[in-house]
Amino acid sequence: MPGNIDNQLRRPRSWLLVFGCLSMLLAGGSAVAALPLPEPAPSPGALPGPPPPPPGTPVPPAAVTTPPAASRTALPAATPIATPTATPPAVVTPTPPPEPAPEAQRTRLLANGRLQPEKVRVPRAASGRYAVVPGGAAPPSRRKGKVVRYVVEVERGLPFDPQEFADEVHRILNDPRGWGFRFKRVSRGPAKLRVSLSSPALTDRRCLPLRTQGTLSCWNGRQAVINAVRWNRGVPGYRGDVASYREYVVNHEVGHGLGHGHVPCPGPGRRAPVMLQQTKSLYGCRPNAWPFPKR
């Protein structure tokens, strides 16, 4: 029995011990729940603001504001962009082309102290038809003498400028060393003679019954037929002086039209008369292109 009493006395003590432990556990949990939670650390770069009001504090209406839409999302600051400066393009000054030289100066060849005309390729035959050079040219006004009207024509298809040929013929005929007439070039109306630049084939036809063989010029009774090959090349006796030979052949054939015939060489080393057939040979004479070379 005493043992039972001791057991009965021990049981209340055990329950008291258990109850005390439970009480201590409950008190510790309440203490933990009462501790304040740590506030989150502010993010880097955030500006410090006023502390939030305690829980349960009413917020006045004026304090509740809605930020502008533009400020809700923070945009990165715009990086200034340099405006490129336009570089003006380089100014290129075009080089003007050289001016063409006159026909008589193109080859830069000298013969007898004179610049010579350019040589071209003359065909054996051209169109066979003449074209009168249009317009006219007046005779010298400050010279005495009979006026002789004449026409200049050039066979179509020859490699010569008709106007240049006409100008050259007019200069030759009205030179003071010439025949002494005042020559007037016309393109219509009556004319005493015609000066006709012709291909070798047309020359041979226009000069019949004379045999020019594609190399000579002639007077056929109304035309001074100038062979284009000779106008272009001259003859060996003039030693490359084509400009002087042109003067000779015009004066010689027009001389026939004015009534002059062929004459011989007066002697070796003498000046050749203009009516000597210098195209064939000088016969010992020196070349001469003028009827009156001493004027």
Q: Rounded to whole angstroms, how far apart are CA atoms 215 and 223?
A: 17
The overall average pLDDT reported for the chain is: 79
pLDDT top residue among 2 and 291: 291
Tokens of 57: 């504090």
pLDDT at 111: 87
Average pLDDT over residues 177-194: 97
pLDDT top residue among 131 and 28: 131
Cis peptide before 209 (omega within 30 of 0): yes
Average pLDDT over residues 235-255: 98
pTM of the predicted model over 0.75:
no
pLDDT tier, 87 (very low <50, low <70, confident <90, very high otherwise)? low
Average pLDDT over residues 172-189: 98
Q: Is the pLDDT of residue 98 over 80?
A: no
Q: Is the pLDDT of residue 197 over 90?
A: yes
pLDDT at 21: 47
Tokens of 22: 């439970």
Share of the chain above pLDDT 70, in %: 63
